[in-house]
Amino acid sequence: MSDTTTRVGDAYDKSAGNYNAAMFNPIGRKVVDLLDLGRGERVLDIGCGRGACLFPAADAVGPTGHVLGIDLSAEMAARCAEDAAASPFRDWVEVRQGDIQRLALDEPVDAVTAGMVLFLLPDPADALRRIAAVLRPGGRFAATTFPTQDGGLAAGWESAEIIADVLGGYLPAGVDNPWTPVLGVGGPLADAESTAAAVRAAGFSEVEVGTVDAVSHFDSVDAYITWTWNITTRMLWDLVPADRLAEATAQARERLAVIAGADGAVDFVCPTRTIHAVR
């Protein structure tokens, strides 16, 4: 397992209990809507987290269908499995711990969802080929990723850029910045055009890359900072030396104050890149 994958698994193990699924559910539903799933279809959800795509997919395919969620983080998979067992979909949803970099299924599926996970993989092009390999011919793929362009994030993501910029200043010498793969600098997900090209190169056709808006509200800058401990930026927080955490938090608070409203709340609309393709 690569260093990046170990770090990703550790970060999501720690954040699984506080992962605010409610924040991700609207965008997960939009991913599922792109697939126009029918009753009885078999779906694979990679990087299922706490089920933002998994549960809307289960709702769409109904009891004659099947949805398998796979997550690298044992903790995330265990909690999602508990959520599934308590849901109305428990008889046709299954959750397993697993690494999609070693994805293999006994039978092909009709559709694959990948909500905000491709950028966490050291080799997204390889993952796209593996996804194509588990889809039946004519099967559909839908995903979301960060809307990177020119080495940065699209307008609307200033809050994440501020956190990454502040914490980047506290990383120990010689440690790779885990934010770099998020930005996909030099990688296949670097911009919309390269993303579409990578999806086509993996064997997909009818490739469409677009955006949907994720709307977020936090009552305060501190509420936003707390949230950043439970999403991808957790990987950065985990690298800040313990004796510098208070200083890093104070700096983040000061920098983020510029995006807070007069009432102290933080509201933003983050355009999120979508991918839809047919095998």
Site membership for ligand SAM, residue 99 (CB under 6 A) = yes
Query: Distance between CA 11 and CA 114 in Å, rounded?
Result: 18
Site membership for ligand SAM, residue 24 (CB under 6 A) = yes
DSSP state for residue 180 in the 8-state scheme: H
Site membership for ligand SAM, residue 111 (CB under 6 A) = no
Quick note: the x/- pattern for ligand SAM over 127-156, rule CB under 6 A, is ------------------------------
Q: Which of 7, 8, 67, 146 binds ligand SAM (CB under 6 A)?
A: 8
Site membership for ligand SAM, residue 70 (CB under 6 A) = yes
Residue positions counted in the chain = 279
**Among 110-118, 222-230, 240-248, 251-259, the segment contacting ligand SAM (CB under 6 A):** 110-118
Number of residues that bind ligand SAM (CB under 6 A): 25
3-state helix, strand, coil in the chain (%, to 5): 45, 25, 30
Q: For 132, phi and psi rounded to 5 degrees?
A: -60, -40
Sort strands 66-71 and 135-145 into parallel, antiparallel or unpaired: unpaired
Site membership for ligand SAM, residue 32 (CB under 6 A) = no
**Distance from CA of residue 122 to its chain's centroid?**
14
List 246's β-bridge partners, or say none: none
Write down the residue that tokens 């919309």 correspond to.
Answer: 192
Q: Which residues bind ligand SAM (CB under 6 A)?
A: 5, 8, 12, 24, 28, 46-49, 52-53, 70-73, 76, 99-101, 115-117, 120-121, 232
